[in-house]
Structure 1
């Protein structure tokens, strides 16, 4: 038995030596380079691939089935003269015995100098198209000897055998170096490049963590952009469960180019990535993001992966100087009134959206000392569906508005107003000011018409305090919506120093020329803060009640005023005509009729009034006021005239009637007697609105008629004294009519 065992051992040893010798002879005596033509033909027939092997083919058979190719090119057999890939070297080897168990155990896979040049021509055809499908052979003619298909031939049935298990991978490492990918599209003129690709992995085994490190340079021409990026982490996958993880992901790099306007963006990201195709979800947990000064934390989750994936998560952006950050990535901000605007920005929010858009919900936003809560975002980017629902404690809007500048027209009007104010004086003795002629409004475009036509807007804004044009508004609420070029302001309300306003309106940009309309109601609104300017006080004070309805067209302040039409009614209560004394004007008229000179200098006091009211009918920028009424202690004031809103000028005829007030007048020369009670004293008011009542002067023609009427009354009285009842009533009336003309 021992001898038999020894013989069998020697037999198998000899057999093994023979096999080894045969394999040695096969790998050393057989040269695969002799079969390059056959290999190329197989590539054409099986994969429609044109393979050029310029270098030698190296190979091994056992225990590793190894292959090494050098200096090879690949092209579609449809376009063999246009290679889409060339390769300096690829080397790989597989253990033979595990293959029998459907296990792939490979040593290091090395790829060096791989260049992919993918091109799509002006007809949309790619130079890689057709690769992978077998070459189309001509259909052979059916011969009589070949049996014709018969209906009795049963169709092939699917196999009842269970699908085989996926091949188990076991690769020591994968190395890709000195590689490049170029893509160009002649139709769109686009080019994309990935160069200096360096990829290194550890052992690739399913279910185990695979160390991965990748670096590359990216470039595009539309827009011109250059970027460098490095990715590092632990890759884990399970093909049976369709689950893929990238643990401890670290991404870093920098970018520059046209979108950044010559600036450089340094970026990095960290976190844990998971894609579960079976559950149709993806997650990025423990997200840490930085971009220049920006630092953010968060998490992102996507479900129902596909064209309309649902996205949720959270985001927190640490406080940063937003102005410096935007400048560092090439964003050119418009000039603002405050040089330090956008210096402080901080955000915490939940994310909720889809592949179409993103909403920031449960938002907590801090901007330059203002705090906002609510939600905002873009529900659909393609439709510009903007959604805003915010509540804030305060907002100084002036900080973010463009600096106030004066063009030549504005400067000319300012000079005109200044001359009118200087020439008006305080006692009303100067000549009547001229009508203003200089345009008061800018002709620069205001509305971004193209953007508004595409905008889908839903806006709800509530502010405890709003600063606009140096006015402190409170309890401000604004609701608006828009779609298809029609923007509707459903409500705009707020308060100003005890007064309130509420309004609505719409902007219609569906046609070539924008159309605007507004309805507004103002209750007990103080006029002084609205009319006061830095270089001059308000010409009138009081609490305004206003009901107005206007419409206009155009896209500039000048066009809006010139096309303004509508109606309004107003009441101004508890008011004051500042630095304009109607009593002094009246005193001057009475002194003239008394033929006495004023002995006291003008006091320059204001004129208080209980009520000033009337209605306005606006046509093409000119407001006609036919029924002006004012109640001044001891006086009744009425008038009519026009407000030319185009040049902010007034032109009025005003009558002042003594109501019998026996108060002492400011000068003995204008003491009132019973003859002056009930007479309407005429004033003419003309000039810039900024003058207010200082634009008013006694109407000399009207004053002459009063003098004639008073003279007629006095003559009639004397005749009555002389003749008594002998004068007929008809004669009295004729005498009065003679002097009243």
Structure 2
């Protein structure tokens, strides 16, 4: 046994002595010029090693490199394309005897690379890629059992520290610039089958947007190098820029899961998400294939859409209206064909443009360029809304169809919060089916087709009192003045159907019923101009006492034409009272005419000396 120990000790001593002699005799700095010359011959570029190439002997064998630069090709203003401040690599010697590679540490500091594209499209990588493709391909022999005899039994990496790495992209053709900085990447060890601690911090600057990312995670890499287990993933991202709501947005994501390198695929569980004030949880799966596949289920608390709406870069609403986008421009939907997706989203509450909805649930499926959102459900204003929307991006110009239904929704607060309209109140039920081809602003307004129906119960037309308008018009014809009343027309039911074509909504069968009056109407709404043109017939079926009138002001039996027109937010109501009362006043005129003729006859008879009692 002692002899074996002596032999091993002797081999180790000889190996250490050989390394010492080798490093003492061989100075890599003597070969700087040869290394630079070889790079020059291969690439036409200058590689300059200004610092020393040094050996590290204790406690591990290693190599250090410092102050290295690599030049740009001719024609570029900046002389340097890449530079490296420091590189250190250390390897444990003794494990190599058994075929085990143990790298005690790797350190890289201040590596800088700048990729430049000139206005003519030439970039500073073109000559390198063309040179590599021109090289003769290396012929490889089929692997056999003998080739594996020289392979390493195991690989272990110690601490890895990569700091201050920067990549700058300057595209002078598109006038865009990006800067990616890896502040640090740290790994305490890389040992397959054992837990490692990793941390990363990076920054991305693109035009006027800055993104900083920090990641910490405990990981285990399988011995077969085919699986990475994420034990405690924590990611934080801060986004800043004038186009970001409030100038800044913070994101935090945590969870655990698996990364299958053979798939490759990602499976994350128990995800916790914080984006601004939005918080949620769920799971996420990603499978890389010909068309990447994503599956997920996320549940959130309260979403304030305004918080995530981009700011207007200082433009006032009036200025924004002066410079609208192209109303005929079709959106680019090609991204919908680049991924398949199936997932569920839910929100306890959503706030958008003054509208408040709760219990929001959405299932969406995207496959082969067809996005099908079904079902869509939400609770709002004492009722519910259910919908389905399909967007087809398989053709160059996208098409869509949607089904939408409101059930027992309070109309007045909904319209007020949604569009600041106070047109109608009551319990609303609404069905609509709409479809079209083309998603430009003009196509959506003019090329959509569809139909639907509506029914309001126990409500009122807000802003107009039809009965009072009729009383006022009648009083004016009599030279009288009617009293002012609340501008509201109560009803027990308001129903109708509609169709949409060529930018016009047509309603042929409006019916309003109340204890006081009945209304039958028809008309059009111009979607493009947001105007209404409506004609209705109002029949008074009872005394007006029930809505501000008096018994002596009985309008029962009177039928009045009603005209409603103008912008939706400022409608004009017109009563044609002369037409309504024409028959009544014609009869009175005839009566007055007969009375006048009789008086004239009596006067003429007296003048001629006759007597109205004479029979002759």
Does TM, normalized by the shorter one, top 0.5?
yes
Distance 1:289 1:399 in 2: 28
Secondary structure of residue in 2 paired with 1:555: coil
Distance 1:216 1:509 in 2: 47
Distance 1:501 1:687 in 2: 29
Secondary structure of residue in 1 paired with 2:569: helix
Specify the alignment match of 1:354 in structure 2. Answer: 260
Q: 1:687 to 1:527 in 2, by over 3 A?
A: same
Specify the alignment match of 2:166 in structure 1. Answer: 255
Specify the alignment match of 1:563 in structure 2. Answer: 447
Specify the alignment match of 1:577 in structure 2. Answer: 461
Counterpart pick for 2:243 among 334, 345, 350: 334
Secondary structure of residue in 2 paired with 1:394: strand
Distance 2:318 2:440 in 1: 14
Cα offset, 1:687, TM superposition? 0.7
Counterpart pick for 1:695 among 565, 572, 575: 572
What do residues 139-194 of structure 1 show as CA deviations (whole Å, max 9, x unaligned)? xxxxxxxxxxxxxxxxxxxxxxxxxxxxxx999734344585969999xxxx9856
Larger mean CA deviation between 108-117 and 468-477 belongs to 108-117
Secondary structure of residue in 1 paired with 2:28: strand
- Specify which structure has the bigger relative contact order, considering alpha-carbon pairs within 8 angstroms and separated by 6 or more residues: 1
Cα offset, 1:565, TM superposition? 0.5
Matched-pair contact (CA < 8 Å) for 1:628–1:638: yes
Please report the RMSD computed on the Cα atoms of aligned residues, expressed in angstroms. Answer: 4.4
Unaligned residue ranges in structure 1 (runs of 5+): 1-96, 123-168, 227-237, 276-281, 413-438, 720-741
Secondary structure of residue in 2 paired with 1:326: strand
What do residues 699-728 of structure 1 show as CA deviations (whole Å, max 9, x unaligned)? 35xx42652377469979x99xxxxxxxxx
Matched-pair contact (CA < 8 Å) for 1:117–1:182: no
Matched-pair contact (CA < 8 Å) for 2:362–2:375: yes
Distance 2:536 2:530 in 1: 19
Specify the alignment match of 2:153 in structure 1. Answer: 242
Distance 1:242 1:314 in 2: 27
Counterpart pick for 1:286 among 197, 201, 205: 197
Q: 1:302 to 1:316 in 2, by over 3 A?
A: closer
Q: 1:591 to 1:670 in 2, by over 3 A?
A: farther
Indicate whether 1:704 and 2:588 are aligned: no
Specify the alignment match of 1:531 in structure 2. Answer: 415
Q: How does 1:491-510 map to 2 (within 5 A)?
A: 491-510=375-394
Matched-pair contact (CA < 8 Å) for 1:284–1:301: yes
Distance 1:221 1:539 in 2: 61
Indicate whether 1:587 and 2:471 are aligned: yes
Q: How does 1:93-492 map to 2 (within 5 A)?
A: 105-107=18-20, 109=23, 110-112=27-29, 113=32, 114-115=35-36, 117=39, 173-177=61-65, 195=84, 198-199=87-88, 201=90, 204-206=93-95, 211-212=104-105, 214-215=107-108, 217-222=110-115, 242-258=153-169, 261-262=178-179, 264-275=181-192, 285-291=196-202, 294-303=213-222, 309-317=226-234, 322=237, 325-327=238-240, 334-336=243-245, 339=246, 342-343=249-250, 345-355=251-261, 356-376=264-284, 378-380=286-288, 383-403=291-311, 406=317, 410=321, 443=327, 447-492=331-376
Secondary structure of residue in 2 paired with 1:512: coil
Secondary structure of residue in 1 paired with 2:291: coil
Q: 1:453 to 1:288 in 2, by over 3 A?
A: closer
What do residues 535-587 of structure 1 show as CA deviations (whole Å, max 9, x unaligned)? 95523222221111000232333321211101101112222222211111121
Distance 2:169 2:82 in 1: 16
Distance 1:535 1:547 in 2: 19
What do residues 167-224 of structure 1 show as CA deviations (whole Å, max 9, x unaligned)? xx999734344585969999xxxx9856455435376221697644543554545478
Distance 1:262 1:181 in 2: 19
Cα offset, 1:615, TM superposition? 0.2
Kindly name which structure, 1 or 2, has the bigger radius of gyration based on alpha carbons: 1
Q: 1:525 to 1:550 in 2, by over 3 A?
A: same
Q: 1:210 to 1:596 in 2, by over 3 A?
A: closer
Indicate whether 1:657 and 2:574 are aligned: no
Distance 1:559 1:283 in 2: 59
Secondary structure of residue in 2 paired with 1:585: helix
What do residues 293-345 of structure 1 show as CA deviations (whole Å, max 9, x unaligned)? 75443223344857xx4433134437x6x4xx334xxxx57343xx16624x3
Cα offset, 1:383, TM superposition? 3.2
TM-score by structure 2 length? Answer: 0.70
Q: 1:498 to 1:626 in 2, by over 3 A?
A: same
Q: 1:411 to 1:657 in 2, by over 3 A?
A: farther
Secondary structure of residue in 1 paired with 2:474: helix
Cα offset, 1:380, TM superposition? 2.7
Q: 1:455 to 1:174 in 2, by over 3 A?
A: closer
Q: 1:477 to 1:711 in 2, by over 3 A?
A: same
Matched-pair contact (CA < 8 Å) for 2:91–2:103: yes
Distance 1:469 1:576 in 2: 25
Indicate whether 1:614 and 2:614 are aligned: no
Distance 2:195 2:168 in 1: 28
Matched-pair contact (CA < 8 Å) for 1:541–1:576: yes
Distance 1:340 1:243 in 2: 50
Cα offset, 1:682, TM superposition? 0.6
Distance 1:561 1:576 in 2: 29
Cα offset, 1:104, TM superposition? 9.3
Cα offset, 1:668, TM superposition? 7.5
Secondary structure of residue in 2 paired with 1:663: helix
| Alignment coverage as a number of residue pairs | 506
Secondary structure of residue in 1 paired with 2:533: strand
Distance 1:608 1:515 in 2: 41
Secondary structure of residue in 2 paired with 1:559: helix
